Amino acid sequence: MVIHRSCDPDGLIEVTLGDIINAKDQAELVKFVRGAIASRGTVRVLVRLEQFVAWHPEALTGEPALWLDDDEGVAMMAIVGDLSWRRTVLTLVAQPLRRMPIEYFTDDAMARRWLGVAA
């Protein structure tokens, strides 16, 4: 489920995800990010996984509404969560195949520094 989502004036999108992410949640987030890109231009994305359980298999399809392409205006993405989710989450977001930089962190402050924003 989407717990929180916001976009600041500088184009930093912050998203907090918890429990199970389904196709509806994922489509909502992609729509939100695309809207921010349309109004602000290039954005950076910070995703936090809190009490995260899994992605529901229906959210893992190739449906275009569920995924952002590399050329859609996301400059970089930082994901913060428990170390046990690192491999699974990076596989799901197709890292290292993506052209946009995507890094996984266990610490929010480190992720924010990597994104170039104040902690």
- Residues 47-94 have pLDDT tens digits of 999 988 876 656 556 676 677 776 789 999 999 999 988 888 887 776
Range of the domain at 108: 2-115
Give just the sign of the alpha carbon dihedral 17, 80, 104, 40: positive
pLDDT value at residue 97: 58
User: 32-46, 69-83, 91-105: lowest mean pLDDT where?
Assistant: 91-105
pTM of the model: 0.87
**pLDDT value, residue 42:** 94
CATH at residue 25: 3.30.750.24
102-105: strand order across its sheet: 2-7, 12-21, 43-55, 74-80, 102-105
More confident residue, 73 or 118: 73
Return the pLDDT at 58. Answer: 64
Query: How many domains does one find in the chain?
Result: 1
